[in-house]
C-alpha cells in the first residue's frame, strides 16, 4: 500500500431520504471540517465521523480511485499542469457522484462513498464513470486524456471497520493496476478462478535507457517532424510491453494512436506488409471500401485494386508500385486522423515484411502529412524472419531509428523475477535456475514461472520464494512448447534424430561422444548440427563442445519412449567408459537411468568415498542417499554405507539425521555399537547438549580394551566442557594410564591434549603448556598432521594467556593452514575464533571483527551452536570496548538465551559477566550487579580461577562507580591472593588500574599514581592498547588532581592516541570531555 499522510473529503450531496436528525448531524460534520485549497475537498477530520454516521444507516459502497501514470503527467508537463488536472478531475467526479461523497486520499488518489449502494449498483456506477473518463479531454496546455484504476469494497459485506475497508479497496485497486490499468476490481485474489501468484511488472526494468530514447524521438515528432522508430529483438524480450508503455505516454501527450492488427495476407503477394497496414487502420475490414469511396480518397481505386486484386501475379503487383498508391495511403491517413496534433501508428509483429512493401514504406514515412506521424514498428529478430534482413538494409538517417531490446542481464533479471512474483523476496538459487533455463528472456520466464508455480516446484517459506526439488515433472508449459516447436519443425529427420541422442547425453555435449555412439564421420555430424545452430536451438562453443539453448533439451528428451530412453542411456554410458574413465559422475547418471542398478551402486560408492576424502560432503550426500535406498539392511555392505552416510550428514550439519543413522548402525552391527555411541556423543557435543553426550558415553562398557582409552578421553572432554574439572581430570588420568599400558601412543597423546585443556581452564598455564608439548611431540613422531594442528591451536591459546601474542598468532595460523588443507572446517572455524581474540588483544579490532563474523557464518552453516554462541559473546565484548554498548548488549543477550537452553555453565558465566560490564558502562548499576553476581556464582561453583579474577575485578570497579567503598575494600585482599597464585600479567594490570581509581577516590594520590604506573609498566611490554589507554587515562586524572597539569596533559594525549588508533569512540568522547573540563578550569 502507498503511504498516506493526508486524507481529504468533499460533500457532494446528502443521500436522499435522511431524517432531520441525520441531516442535522451531517450539517454539523461539514460545518466543522476544513477544506483543501487545491481541490476544495474536505480534509481527513471528516472521514471518521462520516463513516460512523453512514455505517449506522445501512450498507454503502467505497471506491478507491487512482489516476493511471500520473507521475508521467507531472514529469512531461510539470507539476502545475498536474495540479490543474487534479482540480479538473475533482470537477469531473462531481458530475457523476449525484448521491454520495468524494474523498481525496492525497496525491492522485480519491475515494468515493456511495450510500445504499450494493454490488450491482456499484458495478453500474463504475461502468458509467470509466466510460465517461475515456471520452473526456481535459483542456489546458497541453490537452490531456486521463484513465483511472479503481478498487471497490462494500460495507458491511467486506468489512465493518474503516481502516480495513480502506485497505481492502486499496488492495483491489492495485490488483486492477497489475491487470493492465484503466479498469476496476471488486474481487480479492483468492476469489478469482485464475492463477493469482504471478503479477505483471509495470516498471520498465532494465529498459529505462531505451524508453528515454523513444521519448526523445516523440519530442521531435511533437515539434513537427515525422519519424520512424523500429524496436527490434528476439521473440519474448518484451517489445510489445515496452511499446504499450510508450503508447500510454503518447496518450498523455495528447496524440492519436492507431494499433495495426495482424491480418491474414497471402504470402504470394509482393505487397503483403502494405496491405496489412492499410487494413489495420480500420476497426472492421467490411467498411474499408465504403469509406474510401465516400471520402473520395485520392487514388482510391488504385488502392482498392491493391487491397482486393482480382488476379495476383508479379506483373500486376509491380504495376501498383508508383506514385498513385503512395498518395492514396497518405490521403487515407490524413482523412482518418485530421483532428489530432500528431499520430502514432504502432505496427506489431512486423515479421514477414517483403522488400517491395519496404521500399514503398520508406517513401511513405519520408512523405509530408498535415500533422507529424511516428511509425512505431516492433519487429522480431532472427534468421527465420524476413524482417531481420530488411531492417539491416534500412537507410539510416535523421528520420529513421532502430533500437534493440536484448534479454535481461543478470543484474536486472532478479528485479524482473521479483516483480513477476509481486515484489516478494526470491532465493538466489531460484533466480539462478530461472536465468539458466530462460537465458534472461522475459516471456519465457513468465511462462516458466506459471508452470512451476502451478506444479508446486517453487514455494514460499517465511516470505521468500524457494526452489523445491525437481523430480520427474515437465516444467515446460504448453504455450511455451508451442513457441519453441516452430523452430524444431523446420529441421529434417536426421537433424532431429541427432539432437534426440544429444539430449540423452545432457544439456552440454561433446561431438566426440556422438561420433563414438553413432559411428559416423565427424564432418557429417557437423553438417547435421549446422541448421540447429542457425535456428538458435543449440550453441557452438568451439572445440567440438555444444549446448542446448532454453528448453530444447527437455523437449527432445521428453519425446523419447521409456524403453528406448534406457537403451540410449546405456549406450552413452558404454561410450563414456571406452573414451574417458574419469567421468564417474556422468557414468553413474547414465547407468542409473539405464536401470543398471548394480553398476550404478558400485560407481556411486566410489564417488562418495572420493568426495569425502576431498571434503566435498555436500556432493557425497547425494550419492549416499542413493546407496541407502539400494542396499538391503541385511547386506554385508550396509553397515559401511551407514557409517559413511552418518559422516556425510554430520558434515552437512544434519545432526539429528546422523544420530538416527548411527543408532541404526548399532542395531545392524552390534559389534560397532561403541564406535556408533562415540559418534553420537560427539554430535551431541556439537549441538551443545553436553549432558546427552555424557549419557551416551557412560553407556559404553569400559574394560581394558584399547577403545576404552578413546571413551575415557571423550568423557573427560565432555566433563571439561561442562566445567566439571575434577571429574574430567580423573577420567583422563585413567585414559593415559591405560594407553601407556597398551603402548597406544596416539591415545596417550590425546590424553595429554585433554589434560592440557583442563590446566588451561584452571589458569595453570605452565603445566598446560608442558602437557600440550608432550602431545605435540608424539603426534609429530607419528606424522599425524591433523591431530598436530589441533594441539597447536590449543597451544596458541596458552601462549596468548602467557602474553606471548606474536608467537600465539604464528602457531594458530600454521594450524589454520593444516585445517584448510585437510578440509577440517569445524576446527578451522575454532581457529578463526582464537585469531579474532588475539587480534582484539593486539588492538586490531577490525581484523578481529572479521574473524568473529566469519566464524559465526561458518558455525551457523554447520549448526555448531556452541561455536556461534562463543563468537556472539566475543563480538559483544569487542563492541563494549568500542563503546557500542547497546549493540553489545544485543549480542550478549542472544548468547545467554542460547546458552541457557544448552546449560553451558562456563560459557554462560562468561556471557553474564560481559553483560554485567556492559550495563555498568551504561550506568545501569543495579542490572550490572545482578548479572555480575550470577556470573560469580557460576565461576565459584566450577572453580574457574582465571574467570573468577576477571569477575572480581569488574565487581571491584562497579563498587567504586556506585561509591560503595567498603564493599570495594573487602574485595582487594581476595583479588590480590588469586592474582598472586594464578593471575596473568594482563589481569594484574587491570587490577592495578582499578586500584589507581580507588585510591584517587580515597584522596590517596601518591598510591593512585603508583598503581597507575605499575599498570602502565606491565602493559607497555605487551600489545593490549585499549587497557593501556585506560591506565594512561587514570594516571592523567591523578596528575591533574595533584596539580601537575603538564604531565597530566601529556599522559592524556597518549591515552587519546591509543583510543583513536583503535576506534574506541566512547573512550575518545570521555577523553575529549576531560580535556574541555581541564581547559575551562584553567
The residue with greater pLDDT, 76 or 146, is: 146
Q: How confident is the model at residue 309 (pLDDT cuts 50, 70, 90)?
A: low
Peptide bond into 142 cis (omega under 30): yes
Q: How confident is the model at residue 834 (pLDDT cuts 50, 70, 90)?
A: confident
pLDDT tens per residue across span 529-543? 998 988 888 988 888
- List phi, psi (to 5°) of 700: -80, 125
Taking the CA atoms of 413, 417, 419 and 425 in sequence, report the sign of the dihedral they define. Answer: negative
What's the whole-number mean pLDDT along residues 853-879? 78
Q: Which residue is associated with the grid cell 508451442? A: 482
The residue with greater pLDDT, 940 or 76, is: 940
Q: Whole-angstrom Cα distance, residue 816 to residue 822?
A: 10
CB 735 within 8 A of CB 751: yes
Q: Whole-angstrom Cα distance, residue 1026 to residue 106?
A: 55
What's the whole-number mean pLDDT along residues 25-29? 56
For residue 3, the model assigns a pLDDT of 39
pLDDT tens per residue across span 756-795? 988 888 878 889 999 999 999 999 999 888 889 999 988 9
What's the whole-number mean pLDDT along residues 655-676? 88
For residue 7, the model assigns a pLDDT of 31
Taking the CA atoms of 21, 22, 23 and 25 in sequence, report the sign of the dihedral they define. Answer: positive
For residue 902, the model assigns a pLDDT of 60
Whether residue 151 has pLDDT greater than 90: yes
For residue 292, the model assigns a pLDDT of 76
- DSSP code at position 197: S
pLDDT tens per residue across span 890-929? 888 887 877 676 655 667 788 888 888 888 888 888 888 9
pLDDT tens per residue across span 398-416? 678 888 888 888 878 888 8
Q: Which residue is associated with the grid cell 485497505? A: 167
For 74-111, b/e burial (b = at least 16 CB within 10 A) is: bebbeeebbebbbebbbebbeebbeebbbbbbebbbbb
pLDDT tens per residue across span 933-978? 888 888 887 777 778 888 898 898 888 888 888 888 888 888 888 8
On whether the 208-404 domain is CATH 3.40.50.300, my answer is yes
Q: How confident is the model at residue 193 (pLDDT cuts 50, 70, 90)?
A: very low
Whether residue 212 has pLDDT greater than 80: yes
The residue with greater pLDDT, 327 or 396, is: 327
Specify the range with the lowest mean pLDDT, choosing from 389-398, 550-559, 925-934: 389-398
pLDDT tens per residue across span 31-48? 556 677 787 777 666 777
Query: Domain extents for the chain?
Result: 8-191, 208-404, 410-467, 492-595, 984-1081
Q: How confident is the model at residue 845 (pLDDT cuts 50, 70, 90)?
A: confident
Whether residue 473 has pLDDT greater than 70: no
Q: Within 13 Å and on the Cβ side, how many CA atoms surround 794? A: 24
CB 560 within 8 A of CB 568: yes
Does 8-191 match 208-404 in CATH topology?
no
For residue 699, the model assigns a pLDDT of 87
**Taking the CB of residue 53, how many other CB atoms lie within 10 A of it?**
16
For residue 195, the model assigns a pLDDT of 36
On whether the 984-1081 domain is CATH 1.25.40.10, my answer is yes
For residue 904, the model assigns a pLDDT of 54
Specify the range with the lowest mean pLDDT, choosing from 682-686, 988-992, 1037-1041: 682-686
The domain made up of 492-595 has a fold known as: Arc Repressor Mutant, subunit A (1.10.10)
Q: How confident is the model at residue 23 (pLDDT cuts 50, 70, 90)?
A: low
Q: Whole-angstrom Cα distance, residue 271 to residue 1034?
A: 96
Q: Whole-angstrom Cα distance, residue 376 to residue 962?
A: 80
**Taking the CB of residue 916, how many other CB atoms lie within 10 A of it?**
26
User: Over pLDDT 70: what percentage of the chain?
Assistant: 82
For 1032-1042, b/e burial (b = at least 16 CB within 10 A) is: bbbbbbbbbee
Whether residue 563 has pLDDT greater than 80: yes
pLDDT, averaged across the chain: 79
As given in the structure block, the three cell numbers for residue 208 are 529505462
For residue 150, the model assigns a pLDDT of 92
Closest CA to 243 of 403, 407, 438: 403
Q: How confident is the model at residue 321 (pLDDT cuts 50, 70, 90)?
A: very low
For residue 19, the model assigns a pLDDT of 43
Q: How many helices (H) and strands (E) does the chain have?
A: 50, 18
Coil vs helix vs strand at 185: strand
**Taking the CB of residue 482, how many other CB atoms lie within 10 A of it?**
9
As given in the structure block, the three cell numbers for residue 512 are 566426440
**Taking the CB of residue 431, how many other CB atoms lie within 10 A of it?**
19
β pairing state of 8-11 and 545-548: unpaired
Crossing angle between the packed helical segments 47-57 and 162-178, to the nearest 10 degrees: 100
For residue 190, the model assigns a pLDDT of 47
pLDDT tens per residue across span 493-522? 999 999 999 999 988 888 888 888 888 888
Taking the CA atoms of 491, 494, 495 and 497 in sequence, report the sign of the dihedral they define. Answer: positive
What's the whole-number mean pLDDT along residues 172-186? 82
Q: How confident is the model at residue 25 (pLDDT cuts 50, 70, 90)?
A: low
As given in the structure block, the three cell numbers for residue 230 are 523500429
Whole-angstrom distance between the N-terminal and C-terminal Cα of the chain?
Answer: 60
Q: Whole-angstrom Cα distance, residue 1030 to residue 1062?
A: 12
CB 255 within 8 A of CB 341: yes
Q: How confident is the model at residue 334 (pLDDT cuts 50, 70, 90)?
A: low
For residue 26, the model assigns a pLDDT of 57
Closest CA to 800 of 855, 763, 854: 763
pLDDT tens per residue across span 1051-1060? 888 888 888 8
Whether residue 329 has pLDDT greater than 70: no
CATH of 8-191, one of 1.20.120.10, 2.60.40.10, 3.30.70.270, 3.30.70.60: 3.30.70.270
Q: How confident is the model at residue 568 (pLDDT cuts 50, 70, 90)?
A: very high
Q: How confident is the model at residue 61 (pLDDT cuts 50, 70, 90)?
A: very high
Closest CA to 1050 of 1042, 1041, 1040, 1060: 1040
For residue 558, the model assigns a pLDDT of 85
Residue-by-residue DSSP string for 560-625: S-HHHHHHHHHHHHHHHHHH-TT-HHHHHHHHHHTT-HHHHHHHHHHHHHHHHHHT-HHHHHHHHH
Amino acid at each position: 500500500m502507498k503511504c498516506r499522510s493526508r486524507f481529504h473529503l468533499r460533500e457532494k450531496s446528502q443521500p436522499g431520504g435522511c431524517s432531520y436528525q441525520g441531516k442535522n448531524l451531517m450539517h454539523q460534520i461539514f460545518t466543522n471540517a476544513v477544506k483543501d485549497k487545491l481541490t476544495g475537498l474536505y480534509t481527513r477530520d471528516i472521514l471518521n465521523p462520516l463513516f460512523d454516521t453512514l455505517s449506522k444507516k445501512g450498507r454503502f459502497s467505497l471506491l478507491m480511485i487512482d489516476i493511471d501514470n500520473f507521475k508521467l503527467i507531472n514529469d512531461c508537463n510539470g507539476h502545475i499542469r498536474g495540479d490543474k488536472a487534479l482540480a479538473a478531475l475533482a470537477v469531473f467526479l462531481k458530475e457523476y457522484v449525484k448521491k454520495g461523497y468524494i474523498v481525496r486520499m492525497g496525491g492522485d488518489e480519491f475515494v468515493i462513498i456511495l450510500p445504499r449502494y450494493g454490488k450491482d449498483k456499484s458495478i453500474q456506477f463504475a461502468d458509467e464513470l470509466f466510460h465517461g473518463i475515456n471520452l473526456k479531454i481535459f483542456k489546458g496546455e497541453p490537452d490531456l486524456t486521463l484513465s483511472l484504476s479503481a478498487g471497490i469494497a462494500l460495507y458491511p459485506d467486506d468489512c465493518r471497520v474503516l481502516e480495513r475497508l480502506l485497505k481492502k479497496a486499496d488492495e483491489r485497486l492495485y490488483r486492477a493496476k497489475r491487470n493492465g490499468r484503466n479498469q476496476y476490481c471488486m474481487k480479492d485474489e483468492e476469489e478469482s478462478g485464475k492463477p493469482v501468484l504471478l503479477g505483471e511488472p509495470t516498471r520498465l526494468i532494465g529498459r529505462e535507457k531505451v524508453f528515454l530514447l523513444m521519448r526523445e524521438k516523440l519530442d521531435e515528432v511533437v515539434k513537427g517532424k515525422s519519424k520512424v522508430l523500429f524496436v527490434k529483438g528476439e521473440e519474448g524480450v518484451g517489445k510489445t510491453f515496452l511499446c504499450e508503455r510508450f503508447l500510454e505516454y503518447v496518450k498523455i501527450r495528447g496524440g492519436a494512436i492507431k494499433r495495426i492488427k495482424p491480418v491474414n495476407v497471402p504470402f504470394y503477394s509482393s505487397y503483403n506488409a502494405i496491405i496489412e497496414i492499410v487494413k489495420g487502420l480500420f476497426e472492421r475490414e467490411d467498411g474499408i471500401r465504403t469509406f474510401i469511396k465516400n471520402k473520395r480518397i485520392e487514388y482510391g481505386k488504385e488502392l482498392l485494386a491493391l487491397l482486393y486484386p482480382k488476379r495476383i501475379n508479379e506483373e500486376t503487383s509491380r504495376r501498383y508500385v508508383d506514385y498513385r498508391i503512395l498518395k492514396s495511403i497518405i490521403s487515407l491517413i490524413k482523412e482518418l486522423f485530421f483532428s489530432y496534433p500528431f499520430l502514432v501508428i504502432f505496427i506489431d509483429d512486423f515479421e514477414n515484411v517483403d522488400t517491395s512493401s519496404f521500399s514503398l514504406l520508406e517513401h511513405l514515412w519520408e512523405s509530408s502529412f498535415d500533422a507529424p506521424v511516428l511509425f512505431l514498428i516492433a519487429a522480431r529478430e532472427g534468421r527465420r524472419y524476413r524482417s531481420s534482413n530488411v531492417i539491416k538494409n534500412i537507410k539510416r538517417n535523421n528520420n529513421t531509428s532502430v533500437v534493440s531490446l536484448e534479454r535481461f542481464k543478470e543484474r536486472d533479471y532478479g528485479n524482473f523475477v521479483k516483480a513477476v512474483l509481486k515484489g516478494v523476496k526470491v532465493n538466489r538459487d531460484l533466480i539462478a535456475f530461472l536465468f539458466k533455463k530462460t537465458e534472461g528472456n522475459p516471456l519465457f520466464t513468465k511462462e516458466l514461472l506459471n508452470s512451476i508455480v502451478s506444479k508446486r516446484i517453487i514455494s514460499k517459506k517465511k516470505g521468500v520464494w524457494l526452489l523445491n526439488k525437481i523430480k520427474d515433472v515437465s516444467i515446460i508449459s504448453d504455450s511455451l512448447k508451442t513457441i519453441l516447436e516452430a523452430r524444431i519443425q523446420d529441421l529434417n529427420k536426421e537433424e532431429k534424430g541427432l539432437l534426440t541422442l544429444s539430449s540423452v547425453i545432457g544439456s552440454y555435449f561433446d561431438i566426440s561422444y556422438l561420433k563414438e555412439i553413432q559411428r559416423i564421420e565427424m564432418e557429417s555430424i557437423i553438417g547435421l548440427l549446422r541448421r540447429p545452430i542457425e535456428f538458435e536451438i543449440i550453441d557452438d562453443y568451439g572445440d567440438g563442445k555444444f549446448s542446448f539453448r532454453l528448453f530444447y533439451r527437455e523437449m527432445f528428451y521428453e519425446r523419447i519412449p521409456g524403453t528406448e530412453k534406457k537403451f540410449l542411456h546405456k549406450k552413452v554410458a558404454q561410450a563414456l567408459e571406452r573414451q574417458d574413465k574419469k567421468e564417474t559422475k556422468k557414468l553413474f547418471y547414465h547407468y542409473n537411468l539405464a536401470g543398471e542398478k548394480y553398476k550404478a551402486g558400485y560407481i556411486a560408492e566410489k564417488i562418495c568415498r572420493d568426495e569425502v576424502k576431498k571434503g566435498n560432503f555436500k556432493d557425497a550426500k547425494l550419492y549416499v542417499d542413493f546407496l541407502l535406498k539400494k542396499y538391503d539392511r541385511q547386506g554385508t555392505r550396509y553397515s559401511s554405507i551407514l557409517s559413511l552416510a552418518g559422516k556425510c550428514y554430520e558434515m552437512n550439519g544434519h545432526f539429528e539425521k546422523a544420530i538416527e543413522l548411527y543408532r541404526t548402525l548399532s542395531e545392524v552391527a552390534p559389534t560397532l555399537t561403541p564406535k556408533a555411541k562415540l559418534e553420537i556423543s560427539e554430535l551431541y557435543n556439537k549441538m551443545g547438549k553436553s549432558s546427552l553426550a555424557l549419557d551416551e558415553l557412560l553407556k559404553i562398557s569400559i574394560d581394558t580394551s584399547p577403545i576404552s582409552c578413546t571413551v575415557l578421553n571423550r568423557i573427560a572432554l565432555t566433563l571439561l566442557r561442562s566445567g566439571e574439572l575434577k571429574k574430567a581430570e580423573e577420567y583422563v588420568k585413567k585414559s593415559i594410564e591405560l594407553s601407556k599400558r597398551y603402548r597406544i601412543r596416539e591415545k596417550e597423546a590425546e590424553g595429554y591434549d585433554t589434560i592440557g585443556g583442563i590446566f588451561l581452564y584452571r589458569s595453570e598455564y605452565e603445566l598446560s603448556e608442558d602437557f600440550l608439548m608432550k602431545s605435540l611431540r608424539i603426534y609429530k613422531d607419528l606424522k599425524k598432521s591433523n591431530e598436530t594442528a589441533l594441539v597447536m591451536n590449543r597451544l596458541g591459546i596458552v601462549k596468548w594467556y602467557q602474553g606471548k601474542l606474536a608467537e600465539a598468532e604464528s602457531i594458530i595460523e600454521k594450524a589454520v593452514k593444516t585445517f584448510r588443507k585437510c578440509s577440517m572446517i569445524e576446527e578451522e572455524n575454532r581457529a578463526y575464533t582464537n585469531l579474532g581474540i588475539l587480534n582484539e588483544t593486539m588492538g586490531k579490532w577490525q581484523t578481529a571483527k572479521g574473524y568473529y563474523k566469519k566464524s559465526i557464518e561458518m558455525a551457523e552453516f554447520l549448526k555448531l551452536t556452541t561455536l556461534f554462541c562463543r563468537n556472539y559473546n566475543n563480538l559483544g565484548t569487542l563492541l563494549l570496548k568500542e563503546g557500542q554498548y547497546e549493540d553489545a548488549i544485543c549480542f550478549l543477550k542472544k548468547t545467554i538465551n542460547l546458552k541457557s537452553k544448552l546449560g553451558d555453565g562456563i560459557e554462560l558465566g562468561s556471557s553474564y559477566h560481559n553483560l554485567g560490564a556492559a550495563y555498568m558502562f551504561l550506568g545501569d548499576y543495579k542490572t550490572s550487579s545482578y548479572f555480575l553476581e550470577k556470573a560469580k556464582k557460576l565461576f565459584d561453583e566450577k572453580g574457574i580461577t582465571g574467570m573468577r579474577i576477571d569477575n572480581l575485578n569488574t565487581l571491584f570497579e562497579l563498587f567504586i562507580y556506585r561509591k560503595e567503598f567498603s564493599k570495594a575494600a573487602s574485595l582487594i585482599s581476595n583479588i590480590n591472593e588469586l592474582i598472586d597464585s594464578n593471575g596473568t600479567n594482563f589481569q594484574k594490570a587491570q587490577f592495578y588500574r582499578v586500584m589507581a581509581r580507588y585510591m584517587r577516590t580515597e584522596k590517596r594520590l601518591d598510591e593512585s599514581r603508583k598503581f597507575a604506573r605499575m599498570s602502565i609498566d606491565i602493559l607497555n611490554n605487551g600489545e593490549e592498547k585499549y587497557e593501556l589507554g585506560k591506565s594512561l587515562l587514570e594516571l592523567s586524572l591523578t596528575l591533574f588532581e595533584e596539580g601537575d597539569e603538564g604531565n597530566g596533559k601529556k599522559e592524556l594525549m597518549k591515552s587519546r592516541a591509543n583510543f583513536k588508533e583503535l576506534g574506541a569512540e566512547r573512550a575518545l568522547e570521555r577523553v575529549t570531555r576531560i580535556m574541555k573540563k581541564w581547559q575551562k578550569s584553567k
